[in-house]
Amino acid sequence: MSMSGVRLLPKLIGASLRAQTQYPTSAIARTIGQFFGNGIEILAVWALFDRFGAVRGWEFGEVAVFYGFVHVMFAIADALSRGFDVLGTDLLRTGEFDRLLLRPRTLTLQLIGHEFRISRAGRLAQGLAVLFIGAQLVGLEWTAATIALALWAIAGGVALFFALLVLQGTLSFWTIQSLEVANVLTYGGVQAAQFPLSLYNDWLRGVLTFVIPLACVAYFPVVSILGHPDPLGSPAWFAPVAPVAGFVVLGLAFVAWRFGVRHYTSTGS
């Protein structure tokens, strides 16, 4: 079962990619749109720095690194989670979900492979580009330790965003539609994590640390990578520990997910 699962995922992803390349103009337009659509926001960040100068001790290059990290995390998680994102609208409402349940293959893998979106490469590319430009601007020295911390933080971030999309999918077992309000957590989370946590008011910092622990994957480790003293005074040992929060939330999300699947009764006729 597990071996077949490992072989199944590349096949599902391959099939999904082939389907999207049947409309090459559209696939290219979407990828470019993802690149510029998300990339254009960094222009607003740049414009604010151009007009106002440094903000509470942060300079443009540093904010670009925060921005790059969160976009890389979300791009990967978003590409993997389309099946959960559209679960309510495309799968539950239509009864299509029953077919997935009948197949003798892991449900989660089928949903990951449901529609692996090539266009997310556009968001990933712009996130990486902004991250490296930011790192250049602040003269960041990449060492084995900072690279390891960066990859670990990204893994935690992907886990966290994936968890949020699994929770959104879980909710749709009850609502039978895909809830737009979940975008507050995903897209809204990306929006919030583009800037250092220390710029926000206390209540928002609390939400982003303890409720949706985005700060644990996209703020504390990044502060450490930048070598910038944390205005919030987090201790040095916390940076490499914090990304675990992403995996904790992922674990909780799958507990909720299993409960949702057990609760599921078909809408089909």
Partner 1 sequence: MSAPAATHAYIALFVSRFQLMLQYRGAVLAGFATQCWWGAIKVMILAAFYGAPAAAASAPITLSQAITYSWVGQGLLTLLPWMADPDIATAVRTGAVSYDRLRPLDFYALWFARAAGWIAARVVPRALLMAAFACLLLPLLGLAAWAWQPPSAVMAALLFAVSVVLALLLSTAMVMLLNIGVAALLDAAGLNALAAPLVIIFSGSLLPLSLLPDWMQVALLLQPFAGLLDIPLRLYFGQLSGPLAFAGLGLQAFWITVLVLTGRYWLARVLRRLEMQGG
Task: Give me the residues that bind partner 1 (CB under 8 A), please.
Answer: 23, 25-30, 32-34, 36-37, 39-41, 43-44, 47-48, 50-56, 119, 177, 179-181, 183-184, 187-188, 191-192, 195, 199-201, 204
Residue closer to partner 1, measured from CB, 29 or 255 = 29
- Residue 247 to residues 9, 159, 181, 184, 250, Cα–Cα distance (Å): 21, 6, 23, 20, 5
Residue closer to partner 1, measured from CB, 90 or 98 = 90
β-pair partners for 2: none
Decide: 175 and 92 in contact? Cβ < 8 Å.
Answer: no
Minimum CB separation of residue 59 from partner 1 in Å reads: 13
How far does Cα 152 stand from its chain's mean position? Answer: 14
Minimum CB separation of residue 41 from partner 1 in Å reads: 7
Q: Which of 169, 186, 185 is nearest to 177 (CA)?
A: 169
Residue closer to partner 1, measured from CB, 150 or 198 = 198
Residue closer to partner 1, measured from CB, 9 or 71 = 71
Minimum CB separation of residue 197 from partner 1 in Å reads: 11
Q: Which of 169, 158, 172, 174 is nearest to 75 (CA)?
A: 158
Between CA 197 and CA 16 the distance in angstroms is 37
Minimum CB separation of residue 163 from partner 1 in Å reads: 19
Minimum CB separation of residue 143 from partner 1 in Å reads: 31
Residue closer to partner 1, measured from CB, 137 or 179 = 179
Which one-letter amino acid corresponds to residue 10? P
Between CA 67 and CA 84 the distance in angstroms is 25
